Chains A and B, each alone.
Chain A
Amino acid sequence: MAVPVIGIGASAGGIEALGRFFDAMPCDSGCAFVVVLHLDPKRESELARILAAHTAMPVGQVEDGMRLCPDQVYVIAPDSDLKVSDGALHVCEPTQPRGHRHPVDVLFSSLAADQRERAIAIVLSGTGSNGTEGLRDIRAEGGMSLVQAPQTAKFDGMPRSAISAGMADHVLAPEEMPQTLLAFMRHGYLAAPADIEATSPDGEATLDQLLELLRVQGGHDFRSYKQATLRRRIHRRLGLGNIETLDAYIKALRADPAEVEALIGDLMINVTGFFRDPEAWKTLAEHVIAPMVAERRSGASIRIWAPACSTGEEAYSLAMLVTEHAEMAGKRFELKVFATDAQEANLRKARDGIYPGAALTGFPPSRLTRFFEKLNGSYQVNKELRDMVVFAPQNLLRDPPFSRLDLISCRNVLIYLEPDAQQKIIALCHFALRQDGCLFLGNAESIGRHEDLFEAVSKKWRIYRRLGATRHDLVAYPPPRGEPEPHMTNSPSPATPERSVTAAERARSALLEHYAPASVLIDQKGRVHYFHGTTRDYLENPPGEPTRDLLTMVRDGLAAQLRVAIREASKEERTVTVNARIRESQSSRTVAMTVMPLPASSQGRYLLVSFAPATPQHDPDLVAGSPGQSDVSAGERALQEELRAVRTELKETIAYLETANEELKAANEEAISMNEELQSTNEELETSKEELQSFNEELNTVNSQLQHKIGELETTTNDLNNLLAGSEAATLFLDEEFCIRWFSPATRDLFDFVASDIGRPIAHLARKFADDDLLRDVEAVLKHLTPIEAEVPSDAGRWYARRVLPYRTQDNRIAGVVVTFNDITDRKKIADAINDARLYAETIVRTVQHPLLVLGRDLRVETANEAFRELFAAFDEEPKGRLIFELGTGEWNNPTLRSLLDRILTEDDEIHNFAFEQESHRAGRKSMTLNACRLPQEGGLDDLILIAIEDITERKRFEEHREILVGELNHRIKNVMATVQAIASQTLGSATSMAEARTAFGSRLVALGKSHDLLTRENWAGANLWDIVSNTVEPHAGEPNRFTIDGPNVWLVPSAALAIAMALHELATNAAKYGALTTENGEVDVIWQLVGHGEDRRLHLQWRERDGPPVMPPTRKGFGSRLIQRVLSVELGGTAGVTYDKSGVVCTIDAPMPDSEDRSKTD
């Protein structure tokens, strides 16, 4: 046995319903479940995954060609249609555009076709009407449908649509469905389909009971329907209801009117299609339509009736056929096709005229385009065709037929009916056709007994032509429509209980009896509702079935006038009185009939017709004849009168009938046109409704997703708002047009924002800070996407770091900029202070004349001032950045210095007067002292080392020089003192008296002093011999030319100069005391010369006295002679001697005087 397939369709809210269904569905039912959901074609479907959580059965998304396996769930893929055939699933492109899709119908239809009576379809929550059409097909094949109870569904559109179309076999909550499902499958209907007997001991009789029930309660008489079909369909209903016996089912029917309706619906199904049995239609066209078209003239009317038209395909087929033939013949006809069916649902579908493309296969393309409009996969009957067909409800077995028809197409109706019913209908068709009209039956049908009524046009294809006159006897006019439905058999007139007759009542009735004429109360239709008084003079009961129709009951002769009177009274609402003559066998009497319309009441409009004898009217038509002929004339006259009366009556009757006819025609036209208008409107609305519903379904799905997203978004927004409101950074969002998108509360220090400023361009708003570059920077950021920072001052004196960043959306699109302001006033103050301090320091460093170096912690030069650079002009390279030890030629690469520098930083030590020498090519040797200390920095920066260098070269030199000078001075003074001491001791040692000692000592000191003067003049570098000699002899000069001095320039060192000066002084003193200077003529010659060159040069000096007194050698050596001899010779390194010639004293000095010692000085 093939796998049973259960198709499930749902839409909005379906996921929840499916979950509940599968939770309750056992996993071993042996069925395959195919799930179709109305999915958004653009999104991935999570459906399979979601459903898998509700069932142990494997759940998978469908792929084309998948075979159906038991106990598995197959889920439709988005943007596709799903069909079942031959135990496999077929996926195809959706045949209709979005908004017109009915994937559930597609599945159900294919399921019905594939599984037939074993098809089971389930419709769950959803909006719209998807699934209802598909259920029709399932129902037609005898399958079962389960629909979710609307009150249990999130969206009850689809369930309600199915239920209201009568297509729901069971209406249940999803969790209750599995039980029913399984029961149905195990029921005899499916399990043992061959067994169609009602399982009841009474068999036949019970079926009749059921049908009787249906007739009474349902208003439909199925006794004429074929029993076999009835049984089968009833059995199905048993299966659906999981009822085993017919008894139980009848009980159920009695109890449940809904089941009755359902059963009726099931029993009235018939199958139809366009041009069903093409050969038959071809024959029809050839033998009926074509001749008809040919013989009629253009403009004539053609009337066709298609009873039991179901969904209208047959009716449209007829219309199309006739139209095509008419066009072929070049004629136009007033074509009217009446299509009737007992079921409103069928008529609705027929009126819509929408058929799937499959229904129109076999159509030549011209027909398709001529009569249909394509609706993307299905076709709709176009206006032209639609206008040709009038759809109306009509029950073939019950209601009166149309009349004067050219063709009746009654196919595949009779086969469902019992032979008696068939014959009745055939007779009905005979009656309805005009003379030579044709009857077109289905293939399995025939005219049966009524061969006398029809002749065969095509026996094969069941086409018959009407024969003979209208047979009223065969057609039982059923009571007119409008009769209250049989199931409302409870008569409307309430049972009037016996009332106690009061005195008033008695009086009233007596009065009426006595004074009121015989009257009857009739309604608008002329039916009597009340007889008052003796009416037998005026009314009688006609033979035949009892009637309440007044006009039937009145005696001969009254009817015509009465009818007129009733009409008039009714129309004009006034009392009308007419006279009429009752024609009786012997006499006639005149009756006055008064018709009085009664005021309208809740029960309807009634008329009171009163009868009273009347005086016979003088009939103006009576002609007075001759007396002789009076008897004959009287008889003739009476006859003539009667004839006249009859003629009048006839005329009136004819007029009345004509009028009635006209009114009926008019009413009919009105009804038809109104009908058509309503149809068009209806069609439009239906279409719109369908589209809207379809979109609605999708929207619902998306909506629930969006709701969830909104919730998330709200949370995020709340977080964001709080974050931004709480942050102190003033933040501003601008869009690409520089308009404000959002601002944080903290911006009020910078802008005067109000809420309504959002959307305005930022340029329009006043700022409380100075920032000329803002807009330019925003533009730049938008273009280059790199942040830009700037520092801006506010008017309140605070500083802000303004940062502009691009505003990126989640999908990395740039949608504007973010501008943030951070208050950096304090930071800036500090930074500015630091900067100022640094500039201050740098200026100092730069300006100070002392060479200054600032080293960083790493002992690299941070700053070297001008003075440093000048001093160390030896440095070609830029000192900044280099290690101090590398500067120059590595003068500072000194371990001591290194360790000292380190200690500055580590122990806050200082370097004082670290002395070092430096040799450089240009600057020469320099002496420096170095002072260094730590230079702390603020703001967390590393300490620096400040090095001050002093070039003490000059100072050192000066000091050295001074030392030397002081030493020299000291030395000299000591020496002078020692010299004085020497002179003193010599003088005092050799003096003969104190006076002599004093004189000699004094003059020797003076001489010493003068020599010193001379030497001092030359800065103690030495003295010229000339000057010495001049100096010595000057105090003794007296008269000119006493002294003769002659000799070259000779430079003497200070000690030699002193010695010679002292010696000459002694000579001069002696000369003045004892020698040439004592006489007037005495003269002294001091003459010297240099002999030799270079190293061997010698000085020869002579002091010669002449023309003085005769000299005698001293008895002992005086200081002077000792001085001359010893000291001079020692000092000069030569010989010196004094001789005492007769002419005078002669002193001769001969000493080396090498050239190198000779510094020629030009005076």
Chain B
Amino acid sequence: MNSPTSKRVLIVEDEALLAMQLEDLLIDLGHEVVGLATRISIAIELARESRIDFAILDINVGGTKSFPVADILHQRGIRFVFATGYGVDGLMDGYRDATVLQKPYAREDLERAIARASCGAVQ
């Protein structure tokens, strides 16, 4: 369904089950998942070319950090949140103030994070 608040979301996550879970939650929240990247290389491609409004990035994707993806998104002005199991310490410089979603998270956590990231200043 395409409501005005509905976003077209990119998911970058290498755990299939988690990706599936996240997809379900996003759909429940009324958003549309337009891309799922299990590898950074794919994620970068999608980040560059896809028509997306939002992204949810796992910080550690198959051993590689997703910050380059974040850079691209930032350049395009696309809002995003980090989803991580590492904690805040895993964040790199420049993204210290980024919104972070700690796994495991509930549906409400996700909703809030998306709202926050969308309203705040461009990171």
Contacts and interface: CB of A to CB of B under 8 A. Distances in A.
B19 to A, nearest CB: 7
A973 interface: yes
B85 A983 contact: no
B18 A978 contact: yes
B103 A975 contact: yes
Contact of B21 (A971, A982, A1055): A982
Interface string B25-41: 00000000000101000
Interface in A27-77: none
Contact of A974 (B16, B20, B38, B103): B103
A977 interface: yes
A1123 B20 contact: yes
Contacts of B19: 1127, 1130
A1123 B18 CA distance: 11
A1131 B38 contact: yes
A1059 B84 CA distance: 19
Nearest to A971: B85
A1128 B84 CA distance: 22
B75 to A, nearest CB: 26
B17 A983 contact: yes
Contact of B38 (A972, A977, A980, A1130): A1130
B60 interface: yes
A977 B84 CA distance: 12
A979 interface: yes
B14 interface: yes
A970 interface: yes
A1062 interface: yes
Contact of B16 (A971, A980, A1128): A1128
Contact of B104 (A981, A1053, A1127, A1131): A981
Interface string B53-82: 000000010100000000000000000000
B86 A978 contact: no
Interface in B2-17: 14-17
A1016 interface: no
Interface in A950-990: 967, 970-975, 977-983, 985-986
A1053 B62 contact: yes
Given A975-B18, A978-B18, A1053-B62, A1133 B38 contact: yes
B16 A1055 contact: yes
Contacts of A1127: 16-17, 19-20
Contacts of B36: 1130
A798 interface: no
Contacts of A981: 21, 104
A1055 B62 CA distance: 8
Nearest to A1008: B17
A850 interface: no
Contacts of B16: 1055, 1058-1059, 1123, 1126-1128, 1130-1131
Interface in B82-123: 84-87, 89-90, 102-105
Nearest to A1129: B16
B99 to A, nearest CB: 17
B87 A970 contact: yes
Given A978-B21, A981-B21, A971 B86 contact: yes
A1134 to B, nearest CB: 12
Nearest to A983: B17
B101 to A, nearest CB: 10
Contact of B102 (A967, A974, A982, A986): A974
A404 interface: no
A975 B85 contact: yes
B24 A985 contact: yes
A226 interface: no
A1139 B84 CA distance: 36
B15 A979 contact: yes
Interface in A1105-1125: 1122-1123
A972 B85 contact: yes
Contacts of B103: 974-975, 977-978
Given A971-B84, A1055-B62, A1126 B20 contact: yes
Interface residues of B, number: 23
A1055 B15 contact: yes
A756 B62 CA distance: 107
Contacts of B17: 978-979, 982-983, 1058-1059, 1062, 1123, 1127
A724 B38 CA distance: 104
Contacts of A980: 104
Contacts of B105: 978
A1130 B104 CA distance: 21
Given A977-B103, A985-B24, A1122-B20, A1055 B14 contact: yes
A972 B63 CA distance: 12
A1131 to B, nearest CB: 4
Given A977-B103, A978-B15, A978-B103, A985 B21 contact: yes
B38 A982 contact: no
Contacts of A982: 17-18, 20-21
Contacts of B84: 971, 974
Given A985-B21, A1055-B15, A1128-B16, A971 B38 contact: no
Contacts of A972: 85
A50 B86 CA distance: 119
Contacts of A1133: 38
Contacts of A1126: 16, 20
B85 A974 contact: yes
Contacts of A1059: 16-17
B87 to A, nearest CB: 6
Interface string A1048-1065: 000001010011001000
A977 B104 contact: yes
B86 to A, nearest CB: 5
Contacts of B21: 978, 981-982, 985-986
Contacts of B62: 1053, 1055
Contacts of A1128: 16
A80 B16 CA distance: 141
Contacts of B14: 1055, 1131
Nearest to B37: A1130
Contacts of A973: 85
A972 B60 CA distance: 11
A1147 to B, nearest CB: 16
B122 to A, nearest CB: 28
Contacts of A983: 17
Nearest to A1127: B16
Candidate in A983, A1053, A1055 with the most chain B CB atoms within 10 angstroms: A1055
A971 B60 contact: yes
A525 to B, nearest CB: 167
Nearest to B42: A1133
Interface in A654-700: none
A977 B90 CA distance: 19
B112 to A, nearest CB: 17
A1018 to B, nearest CB: 16
Contacts of B38: 1055, 1130-1131, 1133
A1053 B39 CA distance: 13
Contacts of A1131: 14, 16, 38
Candidate in B62, B85, B90 with the most chain A CB atoms within 10 angstroms: B85
Contacts of B86: 967, 970-971, 974
A1133 B21 CA distance: 18
A75 to B, nearest CB: 114
Given A978-B21, A979-B18, A1123-B17, 9 more contacts: A967-B89, A971-B86, A975-B103, A980-B104, A982-B21, A986-B21, A1126-B20, A1127-B17, A1127-B20
12 contacts: A967-B89, A971-B86, A973-B85, A977-B103, A978-B85, A979-B15, A982-B21, A983-B17, A1055-B14, A1055-B38, A1123-B16, A1133-B38
Interface of B: 14-21, 24, 36, 38, 60, 62, 84-87, 89-90, 102-105
Task: For the complex of A and B, list the 4 residue pairs with the smallest distance between their C-beta atoms, beginning with the closest.
Answer: A974-B85, A1127-B16, A982-B21, A971-B85
